[in-house]
Structure 1
Amino acid sequence: MDPLLRGEQAVLGAVLLDPRQLAGLDWLEARDFYRPAHQAIFAALRELHAEGHPALSAEGRVSLAWVTDALAQAGKHVRGLSVSYPHTLIAACPRPSHAPVYGRMVLEGSIHRTVAEHAGRLLAVAQEDAAQDEVRGAVAQADVLAGVLEDLAGRWGTQPRPVAPAAPPVAEPAAGPIPVDRLEDERFLLALLVHQDGAVEEVFDWLRPQDFADPGHGQLYRCVGALHHRGEVIDPVTVVWEVQRRGLLADGTLTEDRLAPILTDGAAGSAEWLGEQLLRSSLTRTAAGAAQQIAAHADDHRLAPGQLIGHALHALGPLDDVRARWLAATSPPEPPQPAAGQAARVHAALARSPTTLRDRETSAPGPVPASGPVLGRDRYRPTTH
């Protein structure tokens, strides 16, 4: 028998046998049960408890009305409940006093299902965004998943902090084929960086080798970035030298046939624009990969809820990094702010002025009185002769 199903039946049977056990299950919710019938029965038991059912104050054996009333209340929300099913639930409970333990089993199963459900949503949204060259849906769904993990951590009584797994419970899903147009964009960007002076400066601050879908292209971008970081010139000769120094030809990461189109064909265009396209693709690809890893962890029932939540948050880490770089690449530059000393001097000058700028803008023109103090614009009325 499924241990989770047995746990759900046991906790419901415990409450049917002893209604007072509900007082120790205030942290358990109806939605934590997997079967809709169990959700309806637990919700009905909660309602009867909140209404002060007479069985709560009964001494000794619980009256049959507690069971029949719970079944009738649950039957309003779900079909198929037989009059004999409460007896099945009662028979599944060895000891009613163990209800909190059975409840934690139900909550543990709920946490695994909830994490798997939201990971599936993130994967679907990331794939849809990738097809439409969008990122907003994946970013929003990742935030939802992070919030759910934090809420689940609070319910389980653990701290929501990322924890790297000692070893992946399952092999990571193999990546699908890279779209041809994506490879062409990467080759075109690399050609720009090699042949166009200063192009690397447009993307160096926020584009990383892992943003390239092709690992070989990522390593070639790493070579270009290393030359830029050392302040050396970037051209086909120096790039090939850096590739050779890193052993990328010897280990097969790159080949002369793959390098030739990049190093021999000049290119003209915007490296910044192409880099943003690659970063957008990297964000959705990273979101999909994180969702697959989290779903794999959720399917591993050897993980306790605290471990599952920690591993899921750790899987979201690379996505947070890509998103931060995406914001850095696409956010408009902030307007320059005046220095603190300059702002203070301007404020002091305005305070010393007898007439503020606002007064000068709003005062109406008129003749100046020949004599007498000016008490204010509202008191001054020009006279006509």
Structure 2
Amino acid sequence: MNPLLSAEQAVLGAVLLDPDQLAHLDWLAPDHFYRPVHQALFGALRKLRSDGHPALSADGPLPLSWVTDAVDEAGQHVRGMTAVYAHTLIQLCPRTEHAPAYGRMVLEGAIHRTIAQHAIRLHQMARADAVQGRVAGALHTADVLTGVLTDLARRWGTDPRPVPPPTAPAAAADAPPPAMPDQVAEDEQFLLAVLTEQPGTMDEVVSWLRPGDFADPAHGQLYRCLGALHHRGEPIDRITLLWEAQRRGLLADGTVASEQINAICDGMAPGSADWFGHRVIRSSLTRTAAASARTIQALAENETLSPGRLINHALHALDPLNEVRTRWATANGNPAPKPTTPTPSAGEPPPARVKAARARSTRRPATSPSAPASPVRAPAAARPPSLRHP
């Protein structure tokens, strides 16, 4: 038995039996259900309630029209919705008063599913941008994902904030490094050659380009050597670069070879360090976006993660992309973008968060067995969970 399917059926059965349960499910939306027929039925039930269906004010047993009208309304939007299935949902609901708990299960499944879907879109857009030589699509999709995470956190009743997971997701850690296109490798080699033969051009890129932006780790280490020489104010040429690489142990451990350094310098072609640097960091941005997307997808597929932890771990996985994005804006002479990562709310929590949290756990009144009995007014008679024909 699928727990998520059972939860969807139970919450619908509870509302079909007791429409008053909808008042405790304002935070649950039709698109949080996985099955289209369940989405349509929950949307129909909410519509009947907002339209003031006569069954809501009926005295005595719940009229059967509540079920039949809900089925008819849902049938206008999806196929396969029948009165027989509606009565099956009623039978599958253990307790109508547990509807908020069933709804939280549905929302939890929707959070995992929604985050996984948006992570897949980010990965696809990053790959498309990498091929087309642009970054706008990946950045927009990342903004959408951040907004979705913030909205889901509000619905779940938690503060959205980046929190690193205790261990890296297995799928992300085991994912092979993306294949480095020949054009990316050439851009990196040309940039290193220009920086070596024209040391003054280091000032054009050193403020926003980092060794981690290079797809080839060896190229990143050579750029680190050039940056160290530039920082110390020492001369830069192929000999000093080779010497710095040796001092850092890059030749001894096989990270680079002297022949590789000579080949890069011999392949020097007229060009702009700023232009090649832009191409390197653009490739780094799309590559980082794809890596963040893979990490978030792996987190979303981990069913043991609670929604709050999943949301905060996903926000943390976007931090590397936000860092590269800030340097990309600097490289293009634009002001640093406003941080898209939401910050925890200060002071009193917002009403939506309180309502969502209360829906997860309802405080039970404490009773004292030694306290004397006091006369209390009997509560209003609850509508019995039964149906009758009008």
Contact preservation (8 Å) 2:238, 2:262 = no
Superposed structure 1 runs of 4+ greater than 6 Å apart: none
Query: Which deviates further from its counterpart, 120-129 or 97-106?
Result: 120-129
- Which residue of structure 1 lines up, in the alignment, with residue 176 of structure 2? 174
Q: How far 1:288 sits from its partner (Å)?
A: 1.2
Of 263, 272, 275, which aligns to 1:273? 275
Gaps of 5+ in 2: 336-390
- Which residue of structure 2 lines up, in the alignment, with residue 306 of structure 1? 308
Measure the CA separation in 1 of the matches of 2:74 and 2:276.
Answer: 58
Measure the CA separation in 2 of the matches of 1:41 and 1:326.
Answer: 47
2:153 corresponds to 1:153: yes
- Which residue of structure 2 lines up, in the alignment, with residue 219 of structure 1? 221
- Which residue of structure 2 lines up, in the alignment, with residue 378 of structure 1? none
Measure the CA separation in 2 of the matches of 1:137 and 1:171.
Answer: 24
- Which residue of structure 2 lines up, in the alignment, with residue 72 of structure 1? 72
Measure the CA separation in 2 of the matches of 1:58 and 1:330.
Answer: 66
Q: Secondary structure at the match of 1:171?
A: helix
Contact preservation (8 Å) 1:196, 1:268 = no
Q: What amino acid maps onto 1:194 in structure 2?
A: T
Measure the CA separation in 1 of the matches of 2:255 and 2:62.
Answer: 73
Gaps of 5+ in 1: 334-385
Deviations 1:274-315 (A, max 9, x none): 000111111111111111111111111111111111111111
- Which residue of structure 2 lines up, in the alignment, with residue 341 of structure 1? none
Q: How far 1:265 sits from its partner (Å)?
A: 4.7
Contact preservation (8 Å) 1:149, 1:160 = yes
Measure the CA separation in 2 of the matches of 1:238 and 1:257.
Answer: 15
Contact preservation (8 Å) 2:122, 2:138 = yes
Alignment of 1:109-148 (within 5 A): 109-148=109-148
Measure the CA separation in 2 of the matches of 1:4 and 1:138.
Answer: 32
Deviations 1:252-280 (A, max 9, x none): 22223322312455443211110001111
Q: How far 1:21 sits from its partner (Å)?
A: 0.5
Measure the CA separation in 2 of the matches of 1:50 and 1:268.
Answer: 70
Measure the CA separation in 2 of the matches of 1:178 and 1:4.
Answer: 41
Q: What amino acid maps onto 1:75 in structure 2?
A: G
Aligned-pair identity (%): 61
Measure the CA separation in 1 of the matches of 2:65 and 2:171.
Answer: 53
Of 237, 240, 244, which aligns to 1:238? 240
Task: Give the number of aligned pairs.
Answer: 333
2:265 corresponds to 1:250: no
* Cα distance change of structure 1 residues 158 and 206 upon mapping to structure 2, 3 Å threshold: same
Measure the CA separation in 1 of the matches of 2:248 and 2:238.
Answer: 16
Contact preservation (8 Å) 2:19, 2:56 = yes
Measure the CA separation in 2 of the matches of 1:325 and 1:202.
Answer: 13
Q: How far 1:211 sits from its partner (Å)?
A: 0.8
Alignment of 1:290-329 (within 5 A): 290-329=292-331
- Which residue of structure 2 lines up, in the alignment, with residue 372 of structure 1? none
Deviations 1:335-365 (A, max 9, x none): xxxxxxxxxxxxxxxxxxxxxxxxxxxxxxx
Of 222, 228, 231, which aligns to 2:230? 228
Contact preservation (8 Å) 1:192, 1:266 = yes
Alignment of 1:196-215 (within 5 A): 196-215=198-217
- Which residue of structure 2 lines up, in the alignment, with residue 31 of structure 1? 31
Q: How far 1:89 sits from its partner (Å)?
A: 0.9
Q: Secondary structure at the match of 1:168?
A: coil
2:43 corresponds to 1:43: yes
Q: What amino acid maps onto 2:75 in structure 1?
A: G
Contact preservation (8 Å) 1:4, 1:109 = yes
**TM-score, structure 2 as length reference:** 0.82
Q: What amino acid maps onto 2:21 in structure 1?
A: Q
Q: How far 1:3 sits from its partner (Å)?
A: 0.8
For the aligned residues, what is the CA RMSD?
Answer: 1.6
Contact preservation (8 Å) 2:238, 2:261 = no
